[in-house]
Amino acid sequence: MEIYKPKVILYTSSNIKNCPWCSKAKRWLQANQLEWTEIDVHTDSVAKESLLAVTKKATYPQLKVAGYYVIGFKEAILNKLLLTLRKEHKNEQNS
């Protein structure tokens, strides 16, 4: 069976030079074999305003994983979310 890969959007800001948390988020996505769309809120003001309206935070990175927002790179939360999503997907496939 193929591993479930949720839709992921990674919000970053090129205004933050050499953002270590953004780099860690990208490494985590790669390690978990996830594809993502990266949106630079420094150059995309519409995305920045939309994100701010939802999360009320202007810190980066922010990840949207299958509709769930994680503010900052929080590996334990991302691991738990991914595990939960994969279990739910597996259960849906088996029912």
Please tell me the number of Cα atoms within 13 Å of 89 on its side-chain side.
14
Q: Is residue 1 part of a domain?
A: no
Computed over every residue of the chain, the mean pLDDT equals 94
pLDDT at residue 1 tops 70 = no
pLDDT of residue 92: 85
Count of structural domains, the chain:
1
Instruction: Name the nearest CA neighbour of 29 among 67, 79, 68, 72.
Output: 79
Backbone φ, ψ for residue 12 (5° rounding): -130, 175
- Write out the residue range of the structural domain in which residue 54 sits: 8-94
Q: How many helices (H) and strands (E) does the chain have?
A: 3, 4
The mean pLDDT value for 8-34 works out to 95
pLDDT of residue 77: 98
Residue type, 76: A
pLDDT of residue 2: 77
Residue type, 20: P
CATH number (domain holding residue 67) = 3.40.30.10
pLDDT at residue 64 tops 80 = yes
pLDDT at residue 3 tops 80 = yes
Model pTM greater than 0.85?
A: yes
At 40, list the tokens.
């630079």
Q: Is residue 41 part of a domain?
A: yes
At 10, list the tokens.
């990674």
